[in-house]
Structure 1
Amino acid sequence: MAIATVNPATGETLKTFDALNAGEIEDHLIRAEQAFQQYRDTSFAHRADLLLKAADLLDADQDTIARTMTTEMGKTLVAARAEAAKCAKTMRWYATHAEELLADEQPDPADVQDSGAVRAVVRYRPLGTVLAVMPWNFPLWQVVRFAAPALMAGNTGLLKHASNVPQTALYLDELFRRAGFPEGCFQTLLVGSGAVEDILRDPRVAAATLTGSEVAGRSVASIAGDEVKKTVLELGGSDPFLVLPSADLDKAARTAVTARVQNNGQSCIAAKRFIVHTDVYDAFAERFVAGMAALTVGDPMEEDTDVGPLSSEQGRSDLEELVDDAVHRGARALCGGRRPPDHHSGWFYEPTVLDGITAEMRIHHEEAFGPVATLYRVEDLDEAVTVANDTTFGLSSNAWTRDADEQTRLARDLQAGGVFFNGMTASHPGLPFGGAKRSGYGRELSGHGIREFCNMTTVWYGPEE
């Protein structure tokens, strides 16, 4: 794929970029290693000052970078501004909390006395340069949720961003430099996917983090495994949204619409499969379909647009194939199911709700990356859990019930990295984020995320004689 900004609302190529050559990549690796050798020993207070400066700059740049994101991948301008604000918030959170999260831990001497230790300490030290392979759908947030903890831990970062968001990638490079981070601490590499293997195998790269497709995750994990390097993977999801009889149906349906079409439906943690108890199925479906059908599809730069275009022509084609396959096999489109007739350019697709889904349909097994929801009618809680878990993914889940026993059961039995009751899945810097099954492994955010790229060192002190 060419490294280029192509406006998905018009299909127009606005700017192209040359990929770095081998010599330029080598220069970046040298700078990253040199920066790490100095930066690793800086104080938390110094790192925090730099990251807080970056947050302030990002706030000042919010509208400009939001317009860049909207232009490059099609999210609404309102959503892009919110993404920039969330990134600044997360930078401040890690600047405030990193030192306590990575503080030395001292086991009770009585608990380790039989090891011969007078005392012992567990320390968290940075690993080195971390390669981040990031996707286009949240082009600022996906990077910051890696970069903020990694930099606060004393690591350096190399970013290989998606090829369709090069201007956002370069902005991040510039942002950290403007904030005063030493040269080489954070660098954007404008390279294609074919360059990733050699970079990851380089001994100056200590670890990797990837958010993206299962195919990309398998590739990076296998290379890193061969090199015995740490990885964190987030590989998408097909999140269930369960609605049970005690739910507030009006609130559940309103939230369901937002949960499905956030980021134009192109979110790993967007609810995609709506699993509804038969007692409330018809009432919920009526509200949900009405909400989806009422959404405004249009220019993502307009303030009143709810759903913009998909990020690429291929992405829309892939979504159409899933819908067409389902309809051909007996599913019903309760709304949508086509390209908007009044949008003749750009990669738009109508918000769509399908029911009558069966296991023979591709959409039952594959992630629908766009504003398409599938409805399932279930007879009881047992069937709801079975349908929810009938996927290779396990990123997050949503459940609407006010029954405490049902909540206990679902928190135990839903196979996912998160269970959100009576609300929609969202990431927050203070909560660990990641998945189970083929949604990946490892965690981002919170204390768990910042420790992923640290060397947990046991320091043992024997008696001095």
Structure 2
Amino acid sequence: MTKTTKLISPVNGEVLIERPQLSLDEARASVARARAAQPAWAALPLAERIVRVRAGLAALNEMKDAVVGELADQMGRPVRYGGEFGGVNERANHMLAIAEEALSPVQAEDSETFRREIRREPLGVIFVIAPWNYPFLTAINTVVPALVAGNAVVLKHASQTLLAGERLAAALQKGGVPADIMQNLILDHDTTEALIAERSFGFVNFTGSVGGGRAIERAAAGTFTGTGLELGGKDPGYVRADADLDAAVDGLMDGAMFNSGQCCCGIERIYVHESLYDDFVAKAVTWVNGMTLGNPHDPATTMGPMAHRRFADVVRGQVAEAVAAGAKPLIDPAHFPADDGGAYLAPQVLVDVTHDMRVMREESFGPVVGIMKVKDDAEAIALMNDSDYGLTASIWTKDADAAAEIGNHLETGTIFMNRADYLDPALVWTGTKDTGRGAALSNLGYLALTRPKSYHLKKVTK
């Protein structure tokens, strides 16, 4: 009997779609087709691959009206935000623009006697395991540069966003990427891990939980398969004494609450200089109470349901434990009547929190943030570093030199000043500690998806 994957919509708790899972043998056959087709794809001129990928992105943009509604149904993002197309286009266009330079040979010598250079060649078949929270943005980070560099791509999308994987594959194929080169497969965990263990891929890119990352590493052990792992986060914000208070409130609270807090680099803990603390907290509460929790298809809704009830229950548990340990909740759930005890969850702001509480240490991935008072930069740095994670840190100040100096002491992948929850495609996306390892976007994103090959060509025989 064929096993299936069911997508339960958080909007109404009903099955939205159901898709059959490939058996291990069927999956092996799909990977074999990708491997067989990849050399011909890599043999195309780089300019031709770019043209086809760009046409595929244009086809994806033509699907926008349908995709926005599908995202609301699949994972609850309000339609008022228009999907992910702004970020998708920004990242993809940047990676296409830098492709030629990033993939060009590095020449050491070209003389009458020697030509010596380092070239980049594709890794073969790239396996992209994409998450549900930003199903297009996160996939694009790897899919576009992988294809442009001459690799084939096998995409396994999260069960919560099956339609996103189908849309992305269909669009790229419409643009001229061969069907065997861009495949979207429905796989269970056992089949996924078996394929990795069999050394089916030249590289595996995974975005998801720390536990999922460990499973990928275990499966790849001994195969020497490269992995890129973007895992958990507990990103901090720091408001210095010289910060623009209103800008800090707006930027950090949006970073904490957008997408119902379900952002890889969302703000989950905030440290505020004691001179601004009371005002910041008061303004943060007003900001959050201005949100509207409801059906994501309603244009008035600013916060939809979380992607699944079990994700909301994790946040409820963290908040309840923190309150029992002395934290003070500042948002009255009654202000958000759409909170049904299920996937629809009222946002929360907590004060009187400590790092002994799970809500300040473990990833919440939901609409809750704890705020602590600090006396100076040193205390803020110590608290920001007191985490198992390190993806981004957001510093709010008028002093760029001070922000850079603070950044020198932070264990994180990206330092932001006066902004949060953003990926700059010209800069590498990476993390430290339990956030994982690897490099996406920028020219380093191309280096991660290719291997170096040295050419030492002696032009004379003596």
What is the TM-score of this pair, normalised by structure 2?
A: 0.95
Q: 1:163 and 2:164 equivalent?
A: no
Q: Which whole-Å CA distance do the structure 2 matches of 1:2 and 1:138 have between them?
A: 23
CA shift at 1:250, angstroms? 0.7
What is the DSSP-based 3-state SS (H/G/I as helix, E as strand, rest coil) of the residue aligned with 1:164?
helix
Task: Give the conservation status (yes or no) of the 8 Å contact 2:79–2:296.
Answer: yes
CA shift at 1:109, angstroms? 7.2
Task: Give the conservation status (yes or no) of the 8 Å contact 1:55–1:89.
Answer: no
Letter in 2 for 1:17: R
- More off after superposition, 413-422 vs 167-176: 167-176
Structure 1 residues 458 and 339: CA distance shift in structure 2, 3 A: farther
CA shift at 1:154, angstroms? 0.4
- 1:63 alignment partner, one of 58, 65, 71: 65
2:87 corresponds to which residue? 86
2:13 corresponds to which residue? 11
- More off after superposition, 288-297 vs 23-32: 23-32
Q: 1:274 and 2:276 equivalent?
A: no
CA shift at 1:370, angstroms? 0.6
Structure 1 residues 192 and 339: CA distance shift in structure 2, 3 A: farther
Q: 1:152 and 2:143 equivalent?
A: no
Question: Pairwise mapping of residues 389-404 of structure 1 onto structure 2 (< 5 A)?
Answer: 389-404=385-400
Q: Which whole-Å CA distance do the structure 1 matches of 2:390 and 2:269 have between them?
A: 12
Task: Give the conservation status (yes or no) of the 8 Å contact 1:10–1:346.
Answer: no
Structure 1 residues 376 and 294: CA distance shift in structure 2, 3 A: same
Question: Pairwise mapping of residues 87-166 of structure 1 onto structure 2 (< 5 A)?
Answer: 87-107=88-108, 118-166=114-162
Q: 1:435 and 2:434 equivalent?
A: no
Structure 1 residues 38 and 338: CA distance shift in structure 2, 3 A: farther
Letter in 2 for 1:61: M
Q: Which whole-Å CA distance do the structure 1 matches of 2:346 and 2:339 have between them?
A: 10
Q: 1:208 and 2:209 equivalent?
A: no
2:30 corresponds to which residue? 28
Structure 1 residues 342 and 271: CA distance shift in structure 2, 3 A: closer
1:16-66 deviation digits (Å, cap 9, x = unpaired): 122112332122112111111211111111111111111211111111112
Q: Which whole-Å CA distance do the structure 1 matches of 2:362 and 2:17 have between them?
A: 33
Task: Give the conservation status (yes or no) of the 8 Å contact 2:236–2:269.
Answer: yes
CA shift at 1:5, angstroms? 2.4
1:329-362 deviation digits (Å, cap 9, x = unpaired): 0000011468943444851111110011123211
- 1:386 alignment partner, one of 367, 382, 386: 382
CA shift at 1:204, angstroms? 3.6
Q: Which whole-Å CA distance do the structure 2 matches of 1:345 and 1:409 have between them?
A: 44
CA shift at 1:405, angstroms? 4.4
1:128-171 deviation digits (Å, cap 9, x = unpaired): 00111111101111111110000000011111111121122112
Structure 1 residues 201 and 398: CA distance shift in structure 2, 3 A: same
Letter in 2 for 1:86: G
Q: 1:310 and 2:303 equivalent?
A: no
Q: 1:377 and 2:406 equivalent?
A: no
Q: Which whole-Å CA distance do the structure 2 matches of 1:331 and 1:87 have between them?
A: 39
Letter in 1 for 2:103: L
1:113 corresponds to which residue? none
Moved over 3 A (4+): 336-346
Where structure 1 has 5 or more consecutive residues not aligned to the other structure, the ranges are 111-116
What is the DSSP-based 3-state SS (H/G/I as helix, E as strand, rest coil) of the residue aligned with 1:196?
helix
Q: Which whole-Å CA distance do the structure 2 matches of 1:190 and 1:336 have between them?
A: 41
Q: Which whole-Å CA distance do the structure 2 matches of 1:339 and 1:166 have between them?
A: 34
Task: Give the conservation status (yes or no) of the 8 Å contact 1:62–1:85.
Answer: no
Q: Which whole-Å CA distance do the structure 1 matches of 2:335 and 2:317 have between them?
A: 12
Q: CA RMSD in A?
A: 2.0
2:74 corresponds to which residue? 72
What is the DSSP-based 3-state SS (H/G/I as helix, E as strand, rest coil) of the residue aligned with 1:296?
coil
Letter in 2 for 1:33: R
What is the DSSP-based 3-state SS (H/G/I as helix, E as strand, rest coil) of the residue aligned with 1:305?
coil
Q: Which whole-Å CA distance do the structure 1 matches of 2:91 and 2:400 have between them?
A: 32
Q: Which whole-Å CA distance do the structure 2 matches of 1:2 and 1:185 have between them?
A: 24
1:114 corresponds to which residue? none
Structure 1 residues 27 and 338: CA distance shift in structure 2, 3 A: farther
Task: Give the conservation status (yes or no) of the 8 Å contact 1:47–1:95.
Answer: no
1:179-236 deviation digits (Å, cap 9, x = unpaired): 1111211111101112111111234411100000000001112322321110111002
Letter in 2 for 1:382: A
Q: Which whole-Å CA distance do the structure 2 matches of 1:166 and 1:24 have between them?
A: 18
Question: Pairwise mapping of residues 325-336 of structure 1 onto structure 2 (< 5 A)?
Answer: 325-336=321-332
Q: Which whole-Å CA distance do the structure 2 matches of 1:262 and 1:107 have between them?
A: 48
Q: Which whole-Å CA distance do the structure 2 matches of 1:339 and 1:288 have between them?
A: 15
Question: Pairwise mapping of residues 411-422 of structure 1 onto structure 2 (< 5 A)?
Answer: 411-422=407-418
Q: Which whole-Å CA distance do the structure 2 matches of 1:408 and 1:337 have between them?
A: 39
Letter in 1 for 2:96: A
What is the TM-score of this pair, normalised by structure 1?
A: 0.94
Question: Pairwise mapping of residues 218-237 of structure 1 onto structure 2 (< 5 A)?
Answer: 218-237=214-233
Q: Which whole-Å CA distance do the structure 2 matches of 1:246 and 1:312 have between them?
A: 40
Task: Give the conservation status (yes or no) of the 8 Å contact 1:7–1:73.
Answer: yes
Q: Which whole-Å CA distance do the structure 2 matches of 1:2 and 1:382 have between them?
A: 52
What is the DSSP-based 3-state SS (H/G/I as helix, E as strand, rest coil) of the residue aligned with 1:69?
helix
Q: Which whole-Å CA distance do the structure 2 matches of 1:446 and 1:57 have between them?
A: 24
CA shift at 1:429, angstroms? 2.2
Letter in 1 for 2:169: D
Q: 1:47 and 2:49 equivalent?
A: yes
Task: Give the conservation status (yes or no) of the 8 Å contact 2:295–2:304.
Answer: yes
- More off after superposition, 34-43 vs 337-346: 337-346
Structure 1 residues 382 and 343: CA distance shift in structure 2, 3 A: closer
Where structure 2 has 5 or more consecutive residues not aligned to the other structure, the ranges are none
